A and B are shown apart, each in its own frame.
Chain A
């Protein structure tokens, strides 16, 4: 028999950085989940994404067990990463204005397609390009459509 779901918890945590403090602690602890177990698993599964924001959807069951799914980083996070890699780390605490190429926009669009509610890569690319604009990131190269 399928286990009965007690609730869902949606968080965004940097890879390898889950610890029992808030927000993980209060969100899961109140449901009787063993927070330490979640942290150990999350950190082991995201150890290659240290410092990168990983959205995680946690399903908590009535028997206080849990499962979780880690999604790829939000388009905005990936854009900032791509722009930063290109221009090199500038002043870390200032908002950065950099640029990305259309190829990078396409790669991010394809990666985020399942979450973006888009039917074509082209429409997903337009959304990602819009996100880039809001962040002050320029998209360079020849516009492919």
Chain B
């Protein structure tokens, strides 16, 4: 996502910075970094509107002097350093998630992922848990939805496990473009990468539904998943902690609980559509 940074000179810094951050957090700014002379405030460029500018010009805090300037940040891959040297991940003896610069492992499913600032390299416990579970399901000739697909690692695994059609959906532009690159890298032909949100689910019915995102988004989208999953079909949910499970089970009451799996506090739920 493209961000704009506003650099604020604040005097005096204490309590000025706290006051500035508090006031800006009421606007569209979502993150802040304090500096030696004030604070840098970050806003998604799409929200950097005239209205915001006017609100800033009217911003006054008693006894605090404020000056600001702004510039647009580059939209580059900030994770490149880590991505250039990470270790491959072996999920049990089932598959290896690796970058193009790693060796493949004999006898296991090979998933080649060059992440580019997207989620899903197998390093995270949630990706690991979902991959592990996918191997226990029969995906042959199935239609699969991978919601919040990130690098598309799960979608790619689904195709390699025999799925006849996979929709890989993500809201993030970096993820969408990265997914397309990774599909090519793995010579996938039965996956359709889509950029967007839950309304893309309309008209689709999954034999297997997978969503590794986070609690709040899963709760918000529960009804949409319900409508896009065939009766009796499995739903794999992950991206949350064990203490989030009760809230999720309540929201996904159209599904029958089958299994909860935990790794490093992260949790995966395996449910069946009633």
Q: In chain B between 190 and 219, which residues have their CB closer than 8 angstroms to a CB of chain A?
A: 214-216
User: Interface SS of chain A: helix, strand, loop or mixed?
Assistant: mixed
Q: When the two chains form their complex, are residues A36 and B119 in contact, meaning their CB atoms are under 8 A apart?
A: yes
Q: In chain B between 44 and 91, which residues have their CB closer than 8 angstroms to a CB of chain A?
A: 44, 51-52, 54-55, 58-64, 73, 75, 78-82, 85-86
Total interface residues on B, CB under 8 Å, equals 57
Given contacts A53-B25, A74-B18, A136-B62, contact A44 B33 (CB under 8 A): no
B117 interfacial by beta-carbon distance below 8 Å: yes
Give chain A's interface residues, CB within 8 Å of chain B: 10-14, 16-37, 40, 43-44, 47, 50, 52-53, 64, 74-77, 79-80, 84, 92-96, 130-131, 133-136
User: Interface SS of chain B: helix, strand, loop or mixed?
Assistant: mixed
How far is B34's CA from A24's CA once the two chains are assembled, in angstroms? 13
How far is B34's CA from A13's CA once the two chains are assembled, in angstroms? 12
Q: When the two chains form their complex, are residues B31 and A13 in contact, meaning their CB atoms are under 8 A apart?
A: yes
How far is B167's CA from A39's CA once the two chains are assembled, in angstroms? 25
Q: Which residues of A contact B124 (CB under 8 A)?
A: 36-37, 40
Among A21, A34, A53, which residue has its beta carbon within 8 angstroms of that of B82? A34
Q: When the two chains form their complex, are residues B15 and A34 in contact, meaning their CB atoms are under 8 A apart?
A: no
How far is B124's CA from A130's CA once the two chains are assembled, in angstroms? 45
Q: Which residues of A contact B18 (CB under 8 A)?
A: 74-77, 131
> Please, what's the 1-or-0 string for B98-125, where 1 marks a CB less than 8 Å from any CB in chain A?
0000000000000000010111010110
Q: When the two chains form their complex, are residues A14 and B31 in contact, meaning their CB atoms are under 8 A apart?
A: yes
